[in-house]
């Protein structure tokens, strides 16, 4: 990976760290193990979409149909699962095949028919949404009882991971204090009286009996564990597997290098013998297949799909996360690790907005600002690199002229 790419990953990583530190002071509950687990789950669900669109952006294209593919794949999965004779895993396979077929269709139109990716995927954005509403009869489709194996893919927590100091920060005000085991609020010590929390509420034990603090008892802080255990969501494991596979494909294989070369200069790539049409096909198949996978997981997580608005603006989340993670909208630059971290930043900002009690419209404002800043930074970087190359070229010409004059 180029030094420029590592610098972008480091920068976005520091931004994520800054958000965590600031929110730890403003809202300590941000580091609560359950909140971290929930944040990881949503990061994974949107990260799957972002990894897919990253391959398209790297080739210099764009895919605006992701949100509608999410809706269509969710409807297809729910529709198939309504059939009692349908094998649940076969339904998932058919759903992924639908996504792959959409990507194949896009790749043919863009790579072989030379249509603009913006136009093709914009048409798909409208058509797939309409198809989802047609299949469902514009009615909500829900997941019935059972299907524990499928549900586990979206809501399972196979194991927990240790996060030092998370309990101290989220429940103990940066240390060991007497806390209300019921809601984590600091308690007031009133010898001989019933204990109350900081809000003036009575403290109850597990049997809903008010807790007494005898006069002869010296109150001691409740010891908080140094290590908090965060349940690992199953979607995060899926994302990590996909991210590793995507990174290996992009940076360690010949097709990956072809995709990057095509994004830098499609004409030069074609003249050097690269079949840019097949590379375009590959990028869009990956993107739509992962969008279908994400749509299936979203549907399983919610246990219901509303065709009219399910997946709305998800393409903007995915594109913003990819751009924030270092993918250039001009193509030829990007890393899967950066995309995953960029998605984590987007979801951390969303969680921060909710915890701070801000209006939901701030989320859309932040997405717009992120996209704009990403494009501006990318353009500024290109200008600087171009200026440095021009300067080096002039220095070499000056040195050659000096040698000739002697």
d(CA 125, CA 63): 9
Angle between helices 148-155 and 234-252 (to 10 degrees): 70
Kindly state the average pLDDT of the residues 216-237.
Answer: 76
pLDDT at 190 over 90: no
pLDDT at 378 over 80: no
User: Using an 8 Å Cβ cutoff, are 35 and 233 in contact?
Assistant: no
Residue 117 has pLDDT above 80, yes or no: yes
pLDDT class of 26 with cuts at 50, 70, 90: confident
Reported residue count of the chain is 406
Q: For residue 153, what pLDDT is reported?
A: 92
Domains of the chain: 3-158+232-363 (1.10.3470)
Q: What average pLDDT does the chain have?
A: 84
Question: How confident is residue 25, by pLDDT bands cut at 50, 70 and 90?
Answer: confident
Could you tell me whether strands 159-164 and 227-232 are parallel, antiparallel, or unpaired per DSSP bridges?
antiparallel
Q: Residues 250-266: pLDDT tens digits?
A: 989 999 999 999 988 88
Percent of the chain with pLDDT over 70: 84
Distance of alpha carbon 155 from alpha carbon 316, whole angstroms: 24
Strand 193-194 with 159-164, pairing = unpaired
Q: Which two tokens stand for residue 317?
A: 């989340």
Closest CA to 327 of 4, 50, 7, 57: 57
**pLDDT, tens digit, 9 for 90 and up, residues 238-250:** 999 999 999 999 9
H helix count then E strand count, the chain: 14, 8
pLDDT at 215: 53
Burial classification of residue 218, based on how many CB atoms lie within 10 Å of its CB (0-12 exposed, 13-18 middle, 19 or more buried): exposed
CB 132 within 8 A of CB 291: no
Which helix (H) or strand (E) element contains residue 230? strand 227-232
Check residue 72 and give its pLDDT: 95
**Between these two residues, 366 and 49, which has the higher pLDDT value?**
49
Statement: residue 106 has pLDDT above 90: yes
3-class secondary structure for 145-170? CCCHHHHHHHHCCCEEEEEECHHHHH
pLDDT at position 188 over 70: no
CB 71 within 8 A of CB 294: no
Query: Which candidate, 314, 332, 317, 312, places its Cα nearest to that of 370?
Result: 317
Task: Express each pLDDT in 359-374 by its tens digit.
Answer: 877 877 877 777 777 6
């Amino acid at each position: 990976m180029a030094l420029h790419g590592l610098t972008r990953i480091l920068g976005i990583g520091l931004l994520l760290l800054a958000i965590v530190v600031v929110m730890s002071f403003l809202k300590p509950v941000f580091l609560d193990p359950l909140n971290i687990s929930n944040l990881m789950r949503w990061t994974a669900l949107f990260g799957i979409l972002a990894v897919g669109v990253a391959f398209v952006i790297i080739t210099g294209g764009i895919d605006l149909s992701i949100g509608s593919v999410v809706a269509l794949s969710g409807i297809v999965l729910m529709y198939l699962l309504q059939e009692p004779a349908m094998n649940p895993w076969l339904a998932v396979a058919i759903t992924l095949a639908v996504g792959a077929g959409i990507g194949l269709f896009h790749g043919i139109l863009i790579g072989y028919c030379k249509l603009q990716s913006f136009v093709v995927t914009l048409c798909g954005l409208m058509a797939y949404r309409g198809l989802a509403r047609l299949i469902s009869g514009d009615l909500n489709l829900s997941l019935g009882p059972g299907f524990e194996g499928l549900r586990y893919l979206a809501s399972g927590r196979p194991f927990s991971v240790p996060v030092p100091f998370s309990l101290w920060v989220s429940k103990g005000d940066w240390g060991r204090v007497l806390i209300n085991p019921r809601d984590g609020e600091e308690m007031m010590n009133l010898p001989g009286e019933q204990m109350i929390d900081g809000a003036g509420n009575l403290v109850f034990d597990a049997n809903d009996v008010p807790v007494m603090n005898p006069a002869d008892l010296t109150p001691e802080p409740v010891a908080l564990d140094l290590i908090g255990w965060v349940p690992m969501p199953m979607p995060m494991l899926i994302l990590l597997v996909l991210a590793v596979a995507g990174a290996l494909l992009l940076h360690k294989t010949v097709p990956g290098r072809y995709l990057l070369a095509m994004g830098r200069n499609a004409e030069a790539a074609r003249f050097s013998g690269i079949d840019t049409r097949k590379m375009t096909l590959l990028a869009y198949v990956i993107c739509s297949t992962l969008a279908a996978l994400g749509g299936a997981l979203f549907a399983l997580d919610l246990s219901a799909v509303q065709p009219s608005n399910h997946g709305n603006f998800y393409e903007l989340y995915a594109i913003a996360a990819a751009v924030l993670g270092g993918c250039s909208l001009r193509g030829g630059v990007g890393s899967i690790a950066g995309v995953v971290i960029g998605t984590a930043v987007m979801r951390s900002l969303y969680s921060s907005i909710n915890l701070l009690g801000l209006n939901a419209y701030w989320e859309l404002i932040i997405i717009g600002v992120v996209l704009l800043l990403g494009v501006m930074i990318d353009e500024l970087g290109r200008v600087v690199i171009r200026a440095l190359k021009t300067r080096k070229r002039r220095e070499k010409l000056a040195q050659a002229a000096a040698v000739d004059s002697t």
